[in-house]
Amino acid sequence: MNDQPQISRPDSANFAAAPAFAEPGVPHIRTLNVPGMQALYVKEVRRFFKVQLQTIWAPAITTLLYLVIFTIALGGAGRTVIGVPFADFVAPGLIVMAMLQSSFANSSFSLLVGKIQGTIVDYLMPPLAVGELIIALIGAAVTRAILVGLALWLAMLLWPGVHVGTDHFWAVAVFGILGAMMLGFLGLITSVWAEKFDHAAAVTNFVVTPLALLSGTFYSIDRLAPWFQSIAHGNPVYYAIMGFRYGFIGTVDSTIANPVLTAVLFLIAVNVVLGLVTYRLLASGWKLKA
């Protein structure tokens, strides 16, 4: 019946040779997915940069007001702390405190808003490994922290009576990045655990803010009672602020041996622990996958 000539297609023979779909769970990308990480990083940076008045300049202005208030109220009559003027002592602490809070705010918002708005699939479905997802989100949080720190530093350079020239730039960079990473990991853990914005706000109010305010931002630790110094030395934010301040004024307010080296090692250890916890939570899909 069918005596019509068959039209052959030159590529018809290739159908049988087409590669089959990979088995479920077998990755196609066997190396580091750099384009995917870059895309997510750019997305996160653009997200907070679109509202930069709120995410960058507002924290900078608020922290600058802290500097004005404390220098006027406590910095008069030539008051010095560990041998430097009070304004020069408190300024670096305010800069890094704003950086840490901004890093936490950025990373704690990413996954949480996805869960609340039902767009968490945008983070879970792309071909990104858990480690690649963490690198992109933490990178965006550190970027926001650096921008806030730069905005504050530039403002304080122009502020009369405050000297924020760096003595050890490496310390400013190392402690700024390690501190921002630490709060970025804490923010990611919070965004996985939290189910609504009130939960993230509770961590901010009862964990992040007390750690920042009780870390020697406005006072010298060596003036405290010995038992309170021991408590302060267990606060990881103290090491970030102490090391960051060392980069500006070249001295520290610590009684521990080798304070700068100890601070670096302590922050690295804390970041490793928080990073492992973050990885395990994201890999397990706890509160992220139905």
pLDDT in tens, 273-290: 999 999 999 999 898 875
- CA dihedral (185, 188, 189, 195) in degrees, to 10, reads 160
The structural domains of the chain, with segments of one domain joined by +, span 33-284
Both tokens assigned to 28: 């196609």
The percentage of residues in the chain with a pLDDT greater than 70, rounded to a whole number, is: 88
**pTM, entire model:** 0.86
- Answer whether residue 1 shows pLDDT above 70: no
Query: In whole angstroms, what separates CA 196 from the centre of its chain?
Result: 20
Determine contact, residues 216/93, Cβ cutoff 8 Å.
yes
For the chain, percent of residues with pLDDT exceeding 90:
51
Most distant CA atoms of the chain, gap in Å: 109
Rounded distance, CA 89 to CA 246, Å? 10
Mean pLDDT rounded to a whole number for the chain: 86
The Cα 231–Cα 235 span in angstroms is 7
Distance of CA 289 to the CA centre of its chain: 24
Contacts of 147 (CB under 8 A, 6+ apart): 56
Q: What average pLDDT does this structure show over 87-93?
A: 90
E-strand stretches of 49-139: 80-81, 84-85
Q: How many of the other CB atoms lie within 10 Å of CB of 79? A: 12
Per-residue CA distances from 46 to 58, 114, 199 (Å): 17, 16, 25
Report pLDDT for 3. 54
24 pLDDT tier (thresholds 50, 70, 90):
low
Which tokens sit at 289? Answer: 């996958």
pLDDT of residue 278: 96
